[in-house]
Amino acid sequence: MSRAAVPGLPSRHPIGEQLPALYHEDDFAQRFTAGLDTVLAPVFATLDNLAGYFDPRLAPPDFVSWLADWVGAFDDPRRPLELRREAVTRAVELHRLRGTRRGLTEALRLVLGVSADVSGDGGTTWSTTAGSAPPPAVDTVRVRVWPGRTAVVDADRVEALVRTLCPVHAVCRVEVLPGPPADLERLDESDPRA
């Protein structure tokens, strides 16, 4: 999308009308300033609607990508525009949840449209004694994904996103499943809130 030249867009602030009265009847001055109005009209229209450009729910599609970069959100132009807008809108929340099970699950749902289950805590230890032995091996975080909003799961994209969101000290393993795991379905059936 280009806002550089919008054919037929009228200027809300025509320069010719702002000239001294002497130039109101001057054909050359009016035609010259009309050419400038054509160039400036998109600028004025953008400035008049500037707040909308910074709201991911209203911004033009090409600005959604720019906003995603600006707030550090994950953006994939191949995803539907409404899902991309939601990911940018919820970027701050996702940054707050980064490194948590919920944050990883929500990011996978928003960015790639897959459902996920995260198990394992990645285990951390600490010691008050300087020079103590290194901690034991770190637990593995298991990320199981299956189709959600999308019919197919792109394993490479899931791996890349999990790599960026999984805590540095944790070893994350990704499993792509054809559907929800049986143990989750049993939990849902036994949950009285379901």
CA 86, 172, 145, 162 torsion-angle sign: positive
Q: Give the pLDDT confidence score for residue 128 in this predicted structure.
A: 81
CA distance readout (Å), 30 to 35, 106, 127, 183:
9, 57, 79, 75
pLDDT at 184 over 70: no
Q: Give the pLDDT confidence score for residue 55 in this predicted structure.
A: 93
Instruction: Judge whether 78 and 91 are in contact, CB under 8 Å.
Output: no
Mean local confidence (pLDDT), 31-50 = 88
Would you give the DSSP letter of residue 22? G
Q: Give the pLDDT confidence score for residue 183 in this predicted structure.
A: 73
Q: Report the share of the chain in percent with pLDDT over 70.
A: 86
Q: Give the pLDDT confidence score for residue 185 in this predicted structure.
A: 55
Instruction: Judge whether 89 and 75 are in contact, CB under 8 Å.
Output: no
Q: What is the pLDDT of residues 155-168, one digit of tens each?
A: 998 999 898 888 77
Query: In the chain, where are the structural domains located?
Result: 15-48, 107-124+138-194
d(CA 123, CA 127): 14
Note the pTM of the prediction, 2 decimals.
0.64
Q: What is the pLDDT of residues 84-110, one digit of tens each?
A: 899 899 998 988 988 888 999 999 988
Both tokens of 105, joined, read 């699950």
Both tokens of 123, joined, read 């285990």
pLDDT band at 189 (very low <50, low <70, confident <90, very high): very low
3-state SS class at 91: helix
